[in-house]
Structure 1
Amino acid sequence: MSLVRRIARPMLAAMFVVGGLDQLKHPGAKAKAARPVLDQAPRVGLPDDPELLVRANGVAMVGGGALLATGHVPRLASTVLAGTLVPTTLAAHPFWNESDPQARAKQKIQFLKNLGLLGGLLLAAVDTDGKPSLAWRARRVGESAQRTVHTTKREARHAAKAARREARLKAAQAQNALS
């Protein structure tokens, strides 16, 4: 792992670990903020208890943050954290609902901060740590298989051509022996 990744991953993860622990310890205020978002969200089989959902989000944040910080499954951890950040941002920083210009500006800054964190998480989610991605490896296997097929066909053509030549030579030798 490079030095930049070793430093940057814990820095990115710290906000989620701290925020997740806060959600676990004090879900009440966040549950109030989450209620309007939950009311607007389509029902996908989630419980109707905002405190439980806030705590579950906190667990995901702490777990994903710890995994990202330690460099264990960082792509999966970043994806999980990105998933936790979207509802958190929508519930906690709805600047478009603020009428007071100062409060609106403050919420907008927090919203944009979270948007920047989301960008960092998306970059971390696609970072292969200098190793080829699965898609690249799959393409290479496919290309290798195509080269093998092409080479095998070419060698078969050469072998068939050599066999025909050898057969003509043997036939000519047989004919000369009879004459």
Structure 2
Amino acid sequence: MAGRPMLASMFVAGGLQSLRRPEDVAPAAEPIVRPVADRVAVLPDRTEQLVRLSGAVQVAGGVMLGLGRCPRLAALALAATLVPTTLAAHRYWEAEDPSDRAQQRVHFLKNLSMMGGLLIAADDTGSAPSLLWRGRHAAQDLRHDANLAHRSTRIAARPAAAAGGIRAKLDSCRTGR
């Protein structure tokens, strides 16, 4: 399938650029990166480091998605990097020049479309049942098996109960009670 490598190519190229020259992207990323980095202690403090980290995730996720290795996880990782990238780089609502605003809107919508493609890829099970489907059907099978065992036990217990009742009647006849 050529769709995944085509979708992945943009992330590999963009991720490599972020790895090589994070200073090109850092000024635009700063308004988004700073509040997130202040709240999440495990993230690096410097914007350039976070841009590099995002670029590394994009390269790794893009390669994995393109090769079909853990494609669902790769697509989710790429989608996670796309949110701050889009919000930082394509803030069309802040652009004052009409042509710049229109261009940024196009890029914003392009990224939104790519996000949709990634979410479709993340949801694609490749014709295999999803974990949710498997879990639901396993639970149904367990309920069915438990119901079957319950009915079998009740059916098997009837002759024993009947025999016990007959025995009790015989014992009462012998003892005269």
Pairwise TM-score range, normalised by the shorter structure: 0.7 to 0.9
What residue number does 1:177 align with?
none
What residue number does 1:112 align with?
109
Aligned-residue offset at 1:27: 1.2
1:1-179 map, 5 Å: 6-41=1-36, 43=38, 44-45=40-41, 46-166=43-163
With normalisation by structure 1, the TM-score equals: 0.87
Aligned-residue sequence identity (percent) comes to 46
Aligned-residue offset at 1:40: 4.2
**Ranges in structure 2 where 5+ consecutive residues have no aligned partner:** 171-177
Aligned-residue offset at 1:122: 0.7
Distance in 2 (CA, whole Å) between partners of 1:15 and 1:30 is 16
Aligned-residue offset at 1:162: 2.5
Q: Deviations over 1:109-141 (max 9, x none)?
A: 000000000011111111111111111111111
Partner of 1:122, secondary structure, is helix
Letter in 1 for 2:113: G
Partner of 1:135, secondary structure, is helix
Instruction: State the number of aligned residues.
Output: 170
Distance in 1 (CA, whole Å) between partners of 2:77 and 2:37 is 20
Partner of 1:55, secondary structure, is helix
| CA RMSD of superposed structures (Å) | 2.0
Distance in 1 (CA, whole Å) between partners of 2:144 and 2:32 is 54
Q: Deviations over 1:19-48 (max 9, x none)?
A: 101111121120111112223446211222
With normalisation by structure 2, the TM-score equals: 0.88
Distance in 1 (CA, whole Å) between partners of 2:165 and 2:92 is 87
Distance in 2 (CA, whole Å) between partners of 1:39 and 1:149 is 55
